[in-house]
Structure 1
Amino acid sequence: MDSIQLHHLLGKMTREEKIGQMVQLAGEFYKEEDSENTGPMHEMNLSPEKMSTIGSVLGVSGAQTLIDIQKEHLAKSRLGIPLLFMADVIHGYRTIFPIPLGIASTWDPNLAEESAILSAKEAAVSGLHVTFAPMVDLVRDARWGRVMESTGEDPYLNQLYARAFVRGYQGKDLINNKMSVAACIKHFAGYGAPIAGREYNTVELSERTLREMYLPAYQAGIDEGSKLVMTAFNSLDGVPATANKPLMRDILRKEFGFQGVLISDWASVGEMISHGIAADLKQAARLALKAGVDIEMMTGGYLNHLHDLIEEGEISESLLDEAVWRILTLKNELGLFEDPYRGANSKEEKTIVFSLKHREKARKIAEESMVLLKNEKQVLPLDIQQKIALFVPEEQSKDVLGAWSWKGQQSESVSVYEGLLQHVSKESIVLKTYSPLKNENHKDWLTEVKNVDVIIIVGGESSYMSGEGASRSNLKLPAEQIQLIKNLRTTSKPIHLILFNGRPLDLTDISQDVDSMIEAWFPGTEAGSAVANLLFGQKNPSGKLTMSFPRTVGQVPLYYNQDSTGRPLTPYNQDDKYLSRYLDVENSPLFPFGFGLSYTEFKYSPMQVTVAESKEEVRIEVTITNNGNLSGAEIVQLYIRDKVGEVVRPVKELKRFKKIFLEPGQSAEVVFQLQKQDFKYVHQDLSVSVEAGEFDVMIGSNSEELEIETIYLDFKKK
């Protein structure tokens, strides 16, 4: 449908039909069997006439189901405007990939893109048009449950991943590629910084920090072409995002140039009443539309009050037309007017969804995402001749998918035990299950493990313990896991800890009691296969953290790129009390941003830094050599520090990285180029520029183990 035809369609719509397009309902409304006006339909004041005007549905899937819903809807729609089907396809549809925080730990945006491509295929063939992903919120507080859905604490990395996920979901040609879905950047804005790490809580950020640290990833996803943006639940500068006109109209629309659909999060329009900025749903609807929200998800503000608000002169009809035009444009960009069933195909659904090819890619990405946190005396990889005692949480052996694995089936996932059996026989494994909550007596187990060579403990969190609504004030392992580890430590057998979790944990209590630790995150469908391949050396770990792991919860929010302080703690003033420090714990994390070990050893040559004659460009070279006996990948990281700025600058900022693969004894030269724009930052007046001066250039394997060289750059004002 061309633009003229689309305008003609808009012109034929009644006000009620326009309002209907701005309403999103959950799938339960399309499973209503009772002919009476009861239940959810009654609560939303939905009549059959209003149902025929609705514009979008969330949370329902399956090719034939969606085809049937669409057919029935089109038969009742006066103008034949098709429904949009949306869902939370966050890290996989039925084939579940690692959680986004795990995917981020690959430090490979190409893998993020590949996971999104395959997730989109499964979703599209099952009838979906839009995914509520990616979440690009920058996060610094591990107490917040939704860190699992983020890509970490660094704005540069987050921008790269935002672009990669959008490319993967949408592809290059959304209208002709029926195996793609429209992406939705979320949550705009600042959702990842709730006070005290508590879900849905207030966010308090200066505008300069918001612009420098938090907004860049949203803008990157929008620049990559994301078709939708979702408002955040939180308030910012005292105004809930869904009613925040300066945020949505000025920054999102005018500054970022976003022309797509802005959708509220679940019931966030109605939540303005609880926030205390709207007396009722009618006032909330007025605030949301004036802020620029095109689609209201699951509250009846638009449905039941927009007509009266227009009649009363509270809002103009033009605001309605503006919102509906964007919704119709999205449907047109998806090709729904020509093909309302788009990619939905129940026959292909059976061969594409959860295919062997997709599962194989899920395993490979899981292997790349896992981080080796400890490997004392190189106790890993294991020998297949060793006898193993495996301890797994009771009823959680297959709880490896994590939150937001909507259609994923735990029964289809590979447990660690099943993964080990791909390498050794049943007779080589003594399997024990323990309760993660009960304080059991482990004396009998201590006797049973006398004849094994190594002990593997699967620990961490249950999937319930992270994700939306799963904020925690205690980041330690469950007490029973800690006690189990300490009891088994008395056997003097090597202990290998495999962690399944959705956030950085406080591992201080047990870090000295285990010989190796693998941070596996929630790795998805092929979890056990990936873990076993790492344990037995079929895959050399190469993942690195994109969030810092604290020594104690009292350190959080904890992040590597903290601002300089007037009284910094340095190696030369450790005995001074009156510094920015704790009395009872080090300032540093237990495991820093960018950290991750390998089964081999990489040696860095002294870096060579060359400043161009213009004094505006820098070339950094370093040679990396694999000095070990195994092939492996290293992620070389480049940081800078602006030593004197108009405003306080971070102690370090990631600017480049490169993942290289080296055989034993092989060397590779890594070259980074930095230009003037890499040194720019947000000033007091919110302008973005750079000044001449001294900068530290730092290179290394993580954010703490770095070689430093100071250079002078004379940026010319243009």
Structure 2
Amino acid sequence: MFDTRISRRAALMGAGAFAAWMHNPARAMLWQAGALPVPAFIDGLIARMTLAEKAGQLTLMPAAWGGGVATALNPAGNGPSFDGQLDEVRQGRLTGVFNGNGAEMARRMQTAAMTQSRLKIPLLFAADVIHGHRTIFPVPVGEAASFEPGLAERTARAASYEAAAAGIDWTFAPMVDIARDQRWGRTMEGAGEDVLLGELIAEARVRGFQGKDLKDDDAMLACAKHFAAYGAAEAGLDYNTVDISERTLREVYLPPFKAALDAGVLSFMASFNEISGVPSTGNGWLMEEVLRGEWAYQGFVVSDYTGDMEMIDHGFAADAREAAKLAFLAGVDMSMTSGFYRDHLPDLVEKGEVPVARMDASVRRVLAMKARLGLFDDPFRRIDVKREKARSRTKPTLALAREAGRKSIVMLKNEGDLLPLPKAGKRIAIIGPFASGQHDINGPWVVYGDNGQAVDLATGVKAAVADKGLVTVVEGSGVEAPVPGGIEAAVAAARAADVVLLAIGESENLSGEAQSRAEIVVPAPQMALAEAVAAVGKPVVVVLKNGRALALAGAVVQAPAILVTWFLGSESGHAIADVLFGDYSPTGRLPCSFPRSPGQQPYSYAHKPTGRPNPPGDLQPYKAHYRGIPNSALFPFGHGLTYGRIEYSGLSVAPSMAWDGELVVSAKVTNRGSRAVEEVVQLYTHDRVASVTRPVRELKAFRKVALAPGASEVVTFRLRRDNLLFIGRENKPIVEPGKFDVWIAPSAETEGVRGSFELARA
């Protein structure tokens, strides 16, 4: 059984002892040390294959036998019947399928491959196991709010434990795209806006999915996606153009992919978007020069769903044949869904337009991966119907889901110490479209989980309080439409209550892929509900459901207490109740900045100062800000409150750091409150003068510190020259001597304690 406990190494990483690790040259050697072996029999197998069979090994298709959400994602009408797909298996025309219907489906398909195909090459079964399989964990951006890479590793390990038992060899996760425009719906699938946090979460999830040995029956192949810069889509519009400098690409968007590679990820997925006029699926510079050349990557690259086909609509390829040629020669080994490689690669090779050696190299990568997964040794190692059921939604995985849920919750406000609520003696009205019901709990991008098995808010609250009769539940409004009589019923319930839990925000179909939003606000009908309930005058706790940062306004932002609860998965209601009633003091921090207005997007705390920054204080004319609002977040990256009262003091930092030396930076953090808490202490720097302008702040390390009531701890970080790297004018990493500002603070836009130091010349 998988172990939900955190390892000592993972704990250290989560606590901030990763500063040296992040820039240690030994880190770059990991991939070389674990070079992908190619068993001797594979070249002999390739020599026996026809061109059609080789193309089959480079063709991945949606499973014809899906069911439920999988069918909605991959409509059966887009391909053959299950019997037809079995015929393709017998003919060697498929390397595998994805989002299929569990172990029984996999057993039947693998049996056909191993008994009825000419070469008996095992199939590869893949799936979108994004934030859980049957047990659903918080959406990744919510889990990133825990600021615990070790937690992300454990939930990925648990997801792999469940999914591998259902015959799944390969997951299309983690998504490691940096998201700095909250209009982009796929924000929910990554780790937010910060590069360092993105790197750490990427590494953790790769380790979790792949386990100790890919041949283990509870390990899955991970896939770093989407390569590259998908999160930089113009205006946050999904699938849109990306046009950024190579420096920004290398400094912001590529590092999490490199971190995933260094953690041992063995598959990459090309992104849908173009970069500076070249679609990623046809971008040889990206795949061959950077990924395989500079980074020495030895795994394989798969297109995203119909990514090669979409180059035709991009205006980059004239037809299917040319699209196949461009994608393959650019370095995309495997085609997903379109069938273009199966249909056109044999002819392209026969005509001399694609070298047979290139085709053999891609087939070798895929077959070597199947060998590393143990499929040639035992094609059925992950296919066991009894084991599939036995590993599904076990007590340990559900307990982990509850832990992950409560650690993902971010408390934005808590005026007058409204929270935590007492468990007895208070009449509670839960009002809003997410107050109760088996809907919108698990979150977007769940293929196999069931909202019907998830715990809603009302159930969680009622399980926590002493008298369920004191809890009233009223819908009040739909997500995007009013409910007849809803506001009147909500107002009546609020008047009869001592405190209101206002459960509002986004539904599952307002976040995720293809759900870009021009206005990242609480929908108007819910805002009308919030205003009416607030007018009653009772204390209101906003319980926000969301897959991205939102621009909060009106009665919502004016509420005395606000909890960001994202989509927390299977144990959602229990996890929220744990925080509401004080069984757990909130520890989450924002992985993405909440803007003052949707019009601020894209926004990141790590923005450049410009030549006309507004000085501290009132807004001044002819300075860099929008009319009426400062160039800052409403709730910045890293923000989150606890049930304590935290003070920062006593910064200690030497005036200079030797070129080859180490700088110790420390501060005292004190809990003046009456409850035990965990504070996420964050270290930021700013390079005052550089040959390339630098962001106003950059996160360099963080540490989670447990503080008893009245307790203090001196929190220490260590900086080295490598922590001050940036991408210079030649698009290479450099470090320059000079003056640096440094903060130890509770968020990216608060002072905490501040000092400075000088990096000496060599």
| Displacement after TM superposition at 1:47 (Å) | 9.9
Separation of aligned partners in 2, 1:503 and 1:542: 18
User: 1:684 aligned to 2:729?
Assistant: yes
Q: Which residue number corresponds to residue 106 of structure 2? A: 66
Q: Given that residues 527 and 556 in structure 2 are in contact (C-alpha distance below 8 angstroms), is that contact kept between their aligned partners in structure 1?
A: no
| Cα distance, 1:274–1:613 mapped onto 2, change above 3 Å | closer
Find the counterpart in structure 2 of residue 597 from structure 1.
641
Residues matched between the structures, number: 708
Please give the alpha-carbon distance, in whole angstroms, between the structure 2 residues aligned to 1:594 and 1:464.
27
State which of 205, 223, 232 in structure 1 corresponds to 2:262.
Answer: 223
C-alpha separation between the residues in 2 aligned to 1:46 and 1:60? 12
Q: Residues 377-430 of structure 1: CA distance to partner in whole angstroms, max 9, x if unpaired?
A: 110110122111111317855311111111110110001110011122321111
Change (3 A) 1:75 1:669: same
Moved more, 415-424 or 118-127: 415-424
Please state whether the residue corresponding to 1:606 is helix, strand or coil: strand
Q: How does 1:338-357 map to 2 (within 5 A)?
A: 338-357=377-396
The CA distance in 2 between the partners of 1:396 and 1:596, in whole Å, is 28
Q: 1:12 aligns with which of 48, 52, 58?
A: 48
Flag the 1:344–1:586 CA change in 2: closer, same or farther, 3 A.
Answer: same
Return the alpha-carbon distance in structure 1 between the equivalents of residues 110 and 224 of structure 2: 26
- Is structure 2 residue 415 aligned with structure 1 residue 402? no
Per the alignment, residue 86 of structure 1 pairs with: 126
1:98 and 2:138 matched: yes
Give the secondary-structure state (helix, strand or coil) at the position aligned to 1:28.
coil
Q: Which residue of the partner structure matches residue 674 of structure 2?
A: 629
**What amino acid maps onto 2:385 in structure 1?**
S
TM-aligned CA deviation for residue 576 of structure 1: 2.9
Q: Is the 8 A contact 1:489 1:513 kept in 2?
A: no
Residue 613 of structure 1 and its aligned partner are, at CA, apart by 6.6
TM superposition shift of 1:439: 6.0
In structure 1, the residue matched to 2:492 is 447
- RMSD between aligned residues: 1.9
Shift of 1:447: 3.4
One of 409, 423, 429 as aligned partner of 1:389: 429
Secondary structure class of the residue paired with 2:739? strand
User: How far off is 1:493 after superposition?
Assistant: 0.6
Q: CA deviation at 1:446?
A: 2.6
The 1:595/1:575 distance shift into structure 2, 3 A limit, reads closer
Are 1:577 and 2:630 matched, yes or no?
Answer: no
Change (3 A) 1:398 1:30: closer
Asked if 2 retains the 8 angstrom alpha-carbon contact of 1:398 and 1:414, the reply is no
Alignment-derived partner of residue 3 in structure 1: 39
> Which residue pairs with 1:270 in the alignment?
309
8 Å CA contact 1:30, 1:69 repeated in 2: no
Alignment of 1:167-206 (within 5 A): 167-175=207-215, 177-206=216-245
Note the residue ranges of structure 1 that are not aligned, 5 or more in a row: 32-36
| Aligned counterparts, 1:523-602, within 5 A | 523-571=568-616, 574=618, 576-602=620-646
Instruction: Report the CA distance between 1:39 and its aligned residue.
Output: 6.8
1:481-496 aligned within 5 A: 481-496=526-541
Residues of 1 paired with 2:679 and 2:124: CA distance? 43
Shift of 1:354: 0.8
Identity %: 40
Q: What do residues 56-79 of structure 1 show as CA deviations (whole Å, max 9, x unaligned)?
A: 111114122211211022222211
Once the two structures are overlaid, the 10-residue window that deviates more, 222-231 or 12-21, is: 12-21
- Using the alignment, how far apart are the partners of 2:537 and 2:78 within structure 1? 61
2:330 counterpart of 1:291: yes
| Structure 2: tracts of 5 or more residues without a match | 1-36, 68-75
- C-alpha distance in structure 2 between counterparts of 1:582 and 1:2, whole Å: 57
Matches within 5 A, 1:385-534: 385-393=425-433, 398-424=439-465, 425-436=467-478, 437-438=481-482, 440-441=484-485, 442-534=487-579
CA positional deviation for 1:254: 0.5
Q: Give 2:8's aligned residue.
A: none
Corresponding residue SS for 1:607:
strand
* 2:190 matched residue in structure 1: 150
| 1:676 and 1:715 in contact (8 A); partners too | no
Preserved CA contact (<8 Å) 2:335 2:341: yes
- C-alpha deviation, 1:274, in angstroms: 0.5
Distance 1:159 1:556, change over 3 A: same
- Distance, in Å, in 2 between the alignment partners of 1:531 and 1:458 is 11
Amino acid at match of 2:259: A
> How far is the alpha carbon of 1:588 from its aligned partner?
1.4
4+ runs deviating over 4 angstroms: 394-397
Q: Which moved more, 1:433-442 or 1:184-193?
A: 433-442
8 Å contact 1:98–1:362 — kept in the other structure? yes
Asked whether the 8 Å contact 1:137–1:186 carries over to 2, the reply is yes
Q: Match of 1:505, SS? A: coil
**Quick check: 1:141 aligned with 2:181?**
yes
Q: Could you tell me which residue of structure 2 aligns to residue 666 of structure 1?
A: 711
- CA–CA separation in structure 2 for the residues paired with 1:118 and 1:444: 42
Aligned to 1:250: 289
Is 1:162 the counterpart of 2:207? The answer is no
Equivalent residue number for residue 754 of structure 2: 708
Distance 2:564 2:184 in 1: 18
Could you say if the C-alpha distance between residues 622 and 657 of structure 1 is closer, same or farther in structure 2, counting changes exceeding 3 Å? same
> What amino acid does structure 2 have at the position aligned with 1:93?
H
Sort the Cα spacing of 1:25 and 1:49 in 2 relative to 1 into closer, same or farther, 3 A. Answer: closer
Per-residue deviation, residues 315-350 of structure 1 (Å, max 9, x unmatched):
110111010000000000001001101222221222
1:517 is displaced (CA, Å) by: 0.7
Quote how far apart the aligned CAs of 1:300 are: 2.0
Q: For residues 129 and 536 of structure 2, what CA distance do their matches in structure 1 show? A: 44
Q: Counterpart in 1 of 2:71? A: none
- Equivalent residue letter for 2:199: Q
**Pairwise CA distance, 1:3:** 2.0
Q: In structure 1, what is the Cα distance between the partners aligned to 2:115 and 2:498?
A: 68
One-letter identity of the residue aligned with 2:708:
E
Tell me how far apart the structure 2 counterparts of residues 601 and 328 of structure 1 sit (CA, whole Å).
Answer: 57
Name whichever of 48-57 and 422-431 sits farther off: 48-57
| Distance (Å, rounded) in 1 between the aligned partners of 2:102 and 2:268 | 25
For residue 34 of structure 1, what is the aligned residue in structure 2? Answer: none
